[in-house]
Structure 1
Amino acid sequence: MLTRKQKEEIVQKLRKEFEEVPAVFVTTFRAMTAEESNELRKKLREKGARYQVVKNTLLRRASSGTPAEPLQEFIEGPTGVAICYEDPVEVAKVLVEFAKEHESLINRGGVLGGKPLEAASLEALAKVPPREVLMAQLLGLLQAPMAQFVQLMAAVPRNFLFALNAIKEKKAEEAA
């Protein structure tokens, strides 16, 4: 049983994290073994997130008045939160894949940039390519017009040379 002071410390710590992190995801777990829980925590830690089981009342208190306040609509049953410190897309992928492999975990939703995410939106977020791929695609889109312009400008003298060469060959045939 937690003392009042311990509960206050948990609420203060969560509140501080909720104000700083880009995303928080809420899950419900039923009959999750310690081994499964450790596996989930390890996978999330590798992606820059922390998974914590929190009492619903403490989670409601900690999230109220923060960008994570929309979490309150997803709090139901035994609740765990995945707090993202880095890329929310990678964390969403881990949660969705883990939920598919283990029936004991149910993704309820979350908050991304202060906006609520339903469970379906969480799955859609998990399908987004990694940040590096998106950056490469954007770079390709930005470079394409310039590359086409360079090719176009190089084609003008090249085509002129082909025309001159054709004229030279035609005159060589007429002379012979």
Structure 2
Amino acid sequence: MARADKQAAVAEIVESFNESAGAVLTEYRGLTVKQLQDLRRSLGANASYAVVKNTLAKIAASEVGIEGFDDLLTGPTAIAFINGDVVEAAKGLRDFAKANPTLVIKGGVLDGKPLDASEIAKLADLESREVLLGKLAGAMLASLSQAVYLLNAPLAQAARLAGALQAKAEQDPSILAGGAGTPVAAEEAPAEEAAPEAAAETEAPADEAPAAEADAPAAEASDEGEATEA
């Protein structure tokens, strides 16, 4: 490879490192061209998969400040540059490696920090960004629902009190004027004054009762007189 071509290839790898959130180094020995195409399709927008020369990848890694790649860059090497969800890309590589054991995940880098194969496997076991966001959104909605309930409870009570006050005010407008209620109408006052007369009329039969009893001895005396004359 000409020197200019090598420089262009290194620059391309450097750009891929800089533009990606992470990278996973793999050994693709034994994979067919079709399997490599299937792997690229399975990664989708989450990652791009590129075959690289080890010497050029070492130079590019050195230029971007990535350490620990020298021991991993052996054998036929291809790098998955992760552009989307890191967890989803790791899951895609893991699942493909299970179905195609000839793909070997050797290690990688995430946010400038080197990762070994076991750390990438742990990364693949995590829940995806969409799932985590869904759970977070669900938790936030639950918290907001509780907050709305707590805020609405006093308002609902106040609304019920206001409704009751309005209904009372419609029946008795003096409440809104600060009064204790509508006073008793003046025409009703004589009813109270007439009460003693009604009571007197009620007691009248009681006064007549002794008179009836007083007539009883007279009647008895008259009967006795008639008996004596006889």
> Equivalences for 1:23-34 in 2 at 5 Å?
23-34=22-33
Q: CA RMSD in A?
A: 2.2
Q: Residues 91-132 of structure 1: CA distance to partner in whole angstroms, max 9, x if unpaired?
A: 111110111011110001111111111111111211222222
Is 1:11 the equivalent of 2:46?
A: no
| Higher percent of residues as strand | 1
Q: Percent same amino acid among aligned pairs?
A: 37
> Equivalences for 1:119-138 in 2 at 5 Å?
119-138=117-136
- Gap change, CA 1:86 and 1:8, over 3 Å in 2: same
AA partner of residue 42 (structure 2): K
Provide the C-alpha distance between the structure 1 equivalents of 2:79 and 2:150, rounded to a whole number of angstroms: 54
Structure 2 residue runs without a partner (length 5+)? 161-230
Partner of 1:91: 89
Structure 1 contact 28–78 (Cα < 8 Å) conserved: yes
Structure 1 window deviating more from structure 2 (10-19 vs 35-44): it is 35-44
Partner of 1:173: none
Secondary structure of 2:70's partner? helix
Provide the C-alpha distance between the structure 1 equivalents of 2:102 and 2:53, rounded to a whole number of angstroms: 18
Provide the C-alpha distance between the structure 2 equivalents of 1:102 and 1:14, rounded to a whole number of angstroms: 26
Provide the C-alpha distance between the structure 2 equivalents of 1:71 and 1:141, rounded to a whole number of angstroms: 40
Partner of 1:166: none
Provide the C-alpha distance between the structure 1 equivalents of 2:66 and 2:45, rounded to a whole number of angstroms: 20
Provide the C-alpha distance between the structure 1 equivalents of 2:65 and 2:110, rounded to a whole number of angstroms: 9
Provide the C-alpha distance between the structure 2 equivalents of 1:70 and 1:21, rounded to a whole number of angstroms: 18
> Equivalences for 1:23-62 in 2 at 5 Å?
23-44=22-43, 46-62=44-60
> Equivalences for 1:109-120 in 2 at 5 Å?
109-120=107-118
TM-score by length of 2: 0.61
Q: Structure 1 residue 73: deviation in Å?
A: 4.0
TM-score by length of 1: 0.78
Q: Structure 1 residue 86: deviation in Å?
A: 1.8
Partner of 2:138: 140
What count of residue pairs does the alignment treat as equivalent? 157
Provide the C-alpha distance between the structure 2 equivalents of 1:88 and 1:70, rounded to a whole number of angstroms: 20
AA partner of residue 45 (structure 2): K
Query: Taking CA–CA contacts closer than 8 Å with sequence separation of 6 or more, which of the two structures ends up with the larger relative contact order?
Result: 1
Provide the C-alpha distance between the structure 2 equivalents of 1:96 and 1:74, rounded to a whole number of angstroms: 18
Structure 1 residue runs without a partner (length 5+)? 162-176
Structure 1 contact 23–110 (Cα < 8 Å) conserved: yes
Query: Moved runs in structure 1, 4+ residues, more than 6 A?
Result: 155-158
- Gap change, CA 1:71 and 1:141, over 3 Å in 2: farther
Is 1:104 the equivalent of 2:102?
A: yes
